[in-house]
Amino acid sequence: MALANGHTLLSTELQLPLRIGKKLAEGGQGEIYQVSAAGRSYALKWYHPAQATAEQKGAIAALVKHGPPKGKAGSRFLWPIDLVEESKSGAFGYVMPLLDSSRFATLGQVQAHRKAAPGYGSMCRISFQAASSYKQLHMAGYCYRDISRNNLLFDPHSGDIVICDNDNVGISNQSACQVLGTMENMPPELILNRAVPSTQSDLHALSVLLFELWIWHHPLHGLKEYQVRSWDLPAKIRIYGEEPLFVFDPENDSNRLPEDPEYQTARRRWQQCPPSVQELFLKAFTVGLQQPQQRVTEGQWQRTFLRLQDSMLSCPACRAENFSPPAGNTPADCWHCRSRLVLPPRLLVKHARGSHAFTLLLGKSLSTLFCHPEEEEKARLFGEVNQHPNNAQIWGIRNLTEQSWSIRLPDGSRKEVPPQRSAPLTIGLELDFIGLNGQIVS
Ligand SMILES: [Zn+2]
């Protein structure tokens, strides 16, 4: 039953007087309205009578009580704030933060050219944040159950994300749920009714979502789907459940991309995809398809995308963002203008889990996120690549921390770099900062 504009409803726990505004969207489960209370705007999801079950109400109440997953990663979920009920009719819904739809886009809107396409740097941030937020949800004991391109939205410029439709979130490995997931994103064991939604099924759905973001294609849509005459339920069960085969499977090419211009974009985007990401997709859609324990974890995605983002190149001719070549390789040509790329100096930082490289591009901010990708709120900007105020040819790394850095120049001499001052950007320079050791390499 539709809600009347201007009508006021009281939320159950917080007693927020919610004034109903315009209808924003309508879906299979219910309608979304913009509502306001005490001068602030929210969104209200109001269930269709058939979906307004006692189980659903109990599930929402539990999510409200628990609150969103922790930290910065948890704050990206448009989590239910409170239940809203209409006692007379028994209808109900829940109030949640309002999505800024002028800022955030779905992949579908980007593909339809209705929103700007994110650059490679933003793509890395979107992918990192998606993995990070779902990880935080899983650590809270929940599974999302319906990870798909439809409920992840992103700011194409900054790469920030939000995750909507959180009312299907449930406890991992418990089956009671109205939604089992979007079929395209479900792993074979769910399609074939051999398992219930869990973190493992979410990991498969996350890999599908990331593949669609990067390749603009479904990982299992190759010759097999191309030859299907009627795209009905049995066909979907076969493609996603009974005979799932990755379109880029290195051992079996019977589901390769068809030689049809329609598939040109996917082919080109796969060729431009960094090898480290290709490798994870290969794992996710070969061994990970049938063996849930072998799936790519959120942490593996996080580390890979963070490494790519911090080592991004800028084309000297057209400024387009490019990926660094794998270690030991010379840079290829710019994907955009075909100019030869030049590898800038890098800051190589050693830490407990290995090493991390930052390409030293002018204006670039350097963050400690690589030290603890699972706790984003702990990350601090520690440096910024800048130019000498009197000589633009001289570059340095400005100390953005509150402690002095100790540096060792290539001639062996040592110096202190106080906060806000810059260390010279010299090949061979060693840097001790906030408990870490870095070296500038060519
Ligand atoms: Zn270029």
Domain assignment of residue 373, yes or no: yes
Tokens of 222: 């190759």
Does 140 share its domain with 217? yes
Q: Are residues 180 and 246 in the same domain?
A: yes
The CA 335 to ligand 1 mean position distance, Å, reads 7
Chain centre distance of CA 9: 35
* 365, part of any domain: yes
The pLDDT, as a whole number, for residue 294 is 96
Last-in-domain residue among 52, 78, 97? 97
pLDDT (0 to 100) of residue 181: 64
CA 336–ligand 1 middle distance (angstroms): 5
Whether 138 and 283 share a structural domain: yes
From 41, 71, 97, give the residue that closes a domain.
Answer: 97
- pTM exceeds cut of 0.75: yes
Q: Is residue 398 part of a domain?
A: yes
As a whole-number percent, the residues of the chain with pLDDT over 90 amount to 79
Tell me, yes or no, whether 178 and 236 share the same domain.
Answer: yes
Separation between Cα atoms, residue 336 and residue 85, nearest integer Å = 54
Question: Distance (Å, rounded) from C-alpha 62 to C-alpha 147?
Answer: 20
Does residue 319 sit within a domain? Answer: no
Q: Output the pLDDT for position 146.
A: 84
DSSP single-letter state for residue 292: G
Task: Characterise 322 by phi-psi region: left (phi > 0), alpha (psi -120 to 50), beta (else).
Answer: beta
d(CA 310, CA 313): 9
| Same domain, residue pair 357 and 295 | no
Whole-angstrom distance, CA of residue 113 vs CA of residue 105: 11
Please check whether residues 236 and 288 belong to one and the same domain. Answer: yes
- H/E run at residue 298: helix 298-310
Please give the distance, rounded to the nearest whole angstrom, from the Cα atom of residue 343 to the centre of ligand 1. Answer: 13
Asked if residue 129 and residue 239 are part of one domain, the reply reads yes
Say which CATH number the domain at 49 has.
Answer: 3.30.200.20
Angle at 279 between CA 273 and CA 283, to 5 degrees: 130
What does the pLDDT read at residue 369?
Answer: 94
Examine the domain organization and report whether 122 and 183 are in the same domain.
yes
- The domain total for the chain is 3
Q: Which pLDDT belongs to residue 102?
A: 94
Segments in the chain below pLDDT 70: 1, 172-181
Residues 32, 45 contacting (CB under 8 angstroms): yes
Q: pLDDT tens digits for 151-169? A: 999 999 999 999 998 887 8
Instruction: Give the residue from 97, 131, 157 where a domain finishes.
Output: 97
138 and 279 assigned to the same domain: yes
- Domain limits for position 229: 107-302
Residue 180 sits in a domain of what CATH number? 1.10.510.10
Residue 250 · residue 282 · CB < 8 Å: yes
Q: Which of 124, 158, 72, 442 is nearest to 307 (CA)?
A: 124
Measure 272 CA to ligand 1 centroid, in angstroms: 14
Domain shared by 238 and 144, yes or no = yes
Q: Is residue 265 situated within a structural domain? A: yes
Helix%, strand%, coil% for the chain, nearest 5: 30, 25, 45
| DSSP track, 17-67 | EEEEEEEEEE-SSEEEEEEEETTEEEEEEEE-GGG--HHHHHHHHHHHHH-
- In the reported structure, the alpha carbon of residue 316 is separated from the centroid of ligand 1 by a whole-number distance in angstroms of 7
Distance 313 CA to ligand 1 centre (A): 10
The CA-atom distances, in angstroms, between 185 and each of 9, 258, 264, 387, 395 are 36, 21, 22, 47, 47
How far does the centroid of ligand 1 lie from the alpha carbon of residue 324, in Å? 14
The CATH code of the domain that includes 376 is 2.60.200.20
User: What angle, 0 to 180 degrees and rounded to 10, lies between the N-to-C axes of helices 120-139 and 199-215?
Assistant: 170
3-state secondary structure of 163: strand
Residue 408 CA: distances (Å) to CA of 184, 352, 437? 55, 22, 11
Question: Ligand 1 center to residue 415 CA distance, Å?
Answer: 38
Cα(14) to centroid of ligand 1, in Å? 54
Q: Is the domain of 93 the same as that of 114?
A: no
Q: Are strands 17-26 and 8-10 parallel, antiparallel or unpaired?
A: antiparallel
In a domain, 379, yes or no: yes
Per the domain annotation, does 226 fall within a domain? yes
19-50 CB burial, b ≥16 within 10 A, e <16: ebbeebeeeebbbbbbbbbeeeebbbbbbeee
Q: What contacts 24+ positions apart, CB below 8 Å, involve 190-197?
A: 191/236, 191/237, 191/240, 191/241, 191/242, 192/237, 192/241, 192/242, 195/292, 197/143, 197/145, 197/170, 197/172, 197/173
d(CA 57, CA 62): 9
What distances in angstroms separate CA 19 from CA 90, 94, 317, one per listed residue? 19, 13, 54
Residue 323 DSSP SS3: coil
Count CB atoms within 10 A of the CB of residue 193: 10
Determine the pLDDT at residue 417.
96
Query: What residues pack around ion ligand 1 (CB closer than 5 A)?
Result: 315, 317-318, 320, 334, 336-337, 339
Q: Is residue 295 part of a domain?
A: yes
Count of other CB atoms within 10 angstroms of residue 395:
19
What's the rounded Cα separation, in Å, for the pair 133 and 375? 10
Amino acid in the structure at residue 348: L
Cα-to-centroid distance, 207 and ligand 1 (Å): 30
Residue 426: exposed, middle, or buried by beta-carbon count in 10 A (0-12, 13-18, 19+)?
A: middle
- 435 and 288 in a single domain? The answer is no
CA atoms of 296 and 309, how far apart (whole Å): 19
Q: For the chain, what's the residue count?
A: 442
